[in-house]
């Protein structure tokens, strides 16, 4: 088969072009080498100590946990042991530079871990939380600002449709837009029998977990352009429900269905919709009625890792789904469950 590479009169020009290209590349590399070395040094300085991931089993607590309870919605700052949200460990690399995010339940737990990661990846972040969670929220606002990003705090009860619309409008106004929405806030209440679940409790759980997700997403979509994304916090409970979390599991299954359906609907607009489905994670949800005292004592012990996850261990899942590199990922449920089946 004939080609330029097989023609004698093409060899010399090709070689000259090759040598010229290599020479140019070498010169360019020499010019930027000092800057690259300086940046590499800075990057190394920002890296966590080697072997941290391998030491996770030693760093993170395993059951038995001490008896403890808090009134709903609970505060991370009062938990024993205190959850790790990545405050001292998460290191960003600019993957979300310039993004504008709204995170519900951003004061503590998984939402807080996502917020810290988003800010350190370069995003400005608005957080929603209940007024009772103000002490935790103040800590998060300060962490966002320490990352050099804009922090917007919007307290309020997402069980109210009018507030959900106001929440989105205020986030858009103060951030100057919205291209990343994390529907994370949830309510979980343990009940040994369906006979113990009152209509009021059932309504409270569905309003918080399902209705609010619908209302907030509906209000947010008109503001979102191509390249935006929505991430919903579902749960392993959607696939493998516990007997004491009937209504909560129902809401999480609904969230998965909403994620998959909406992903198909919004794909033509360039808006991606995904979910994260955590297993047992050490958050205020568990100590404010989400588990019985007996279950709390052994919480997470039934996973192959024999412990619950820490919120910090889910942060990268949210960053990954939010990043532009995941541009072909939509309708996906990202499981982070310590080895339990999805």
The single residue of 90, 129, 248, 334 carrying the catalytic annotation is 248
- In DSSP notation, 123-175 reads -EEEEEE-GGGHHHHHHHHHHHHHTT--EEEEE--TTSHHHHHHHHHHHHHHH
Residue whose C-alpha is closest to residue 118's, from 316, 295, 259: 316
Distance between CA atoms of residues 279 and 305, nearest Å: 11
Distance between CA atoms of residues 131 and 34, nearest Å: 50
Between vectors from CA 334 to CA 75 and to CA 61, what angle results, nearest 5°?
A: 40
- In DSSP notation, 173-193 reads HHHT---EEEE--------SS
Helix 246-266, helix 199-206: angle, nearest 10? 30
Q: What would the two tokens of residue 224 be?
A: 């979102």
Distance between CA atoms of residues 299 and 193, nearest Å: 20
Do the beta carbons of residue 206 and residue 247 sit within 8 Å? Answer: yes
Q: What would the two tokens of residue 170 be?
A: 């205020």
For residue 220, the SS3 value is: helix
What phi, psi does 196 have (nearest 5°)? Answer: -90, -5
Q: Is 90 a catalytic residue?
A: no
Q: What would the two tokens of residue 21 be?
A: 């290209």
How many Cα atoms within 13 Å fall on the side-chain side of residue 98? Answer: 3
- List residues with catalytic annotation: 248
């Amino acid at each position: 088969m004939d080609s330029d590479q097989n023609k004698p009169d093409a060899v010399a020009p090709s070689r000259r072009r090759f040598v010229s290209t290599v020479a140019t590349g070498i010169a360019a590399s020499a010019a930027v080498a000092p800057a690259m070395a300086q940046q590499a040094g800075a990057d190394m300085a920002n890296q966590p100590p080697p072997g941290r991931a391998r030491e996770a089993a030693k760093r993170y607590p395993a059951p038995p946990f001490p008896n403890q309870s808090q009134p709903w919605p609970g505060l991370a700052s009062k938990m024993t042991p205190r959850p790790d949200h990545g405050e001292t460990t998460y290191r960003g690399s600019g993957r979300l530079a310039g993004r504008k995010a709204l995170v519900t339940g951003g004061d503590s737990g998984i939402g807080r871990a996502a917020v810290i990661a988003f800010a350190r990846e370069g995003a400005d972040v608005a957080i929603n939380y209940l007024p009772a969670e103000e002490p935790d929220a103040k800590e998060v606002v300060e962490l966002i600002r320490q990352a050099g990003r804009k922090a917007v705090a919007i307290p309020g009860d997402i069980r109210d449709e009018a507030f959900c619309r106001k929440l989105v409008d205020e986030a858009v106004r103060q951030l100057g837009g919205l291209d990343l929405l994390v529907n994370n806030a949830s309510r979980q209440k343990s009940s040994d029998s369906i006979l113990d679940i009152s209509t009021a409790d059932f309504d409270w759980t569905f309003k918080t977990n399902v209705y609010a997700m619908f209302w907030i997403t509906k209000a947010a979509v008109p503001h979102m352009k191509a390249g935006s994304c929505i991430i919903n916090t579902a749960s392993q409970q959607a696939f493998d429900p516990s007997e004491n979390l009937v209504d909560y599991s129902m809401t999480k299954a609904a969230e998965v269905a909403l994620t998959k359906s909406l992903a198909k609907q919004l794909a033509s607009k360039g808006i991606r919709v995904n979910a994260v489905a955590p297993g047992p994670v050490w958050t205020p949800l568990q100590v404010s009625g989400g588990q019985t005292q007996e279950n709390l004592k052994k919480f997470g012990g039934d996973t192959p890792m024999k412990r619950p996850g820490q919120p910090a261990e889910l942060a990268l899942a949210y960053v990954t789904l939010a990043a532009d590199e995941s541009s072909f990922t939509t309708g996906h449920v990202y499981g982070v469950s310590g080895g339990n089946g999805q």
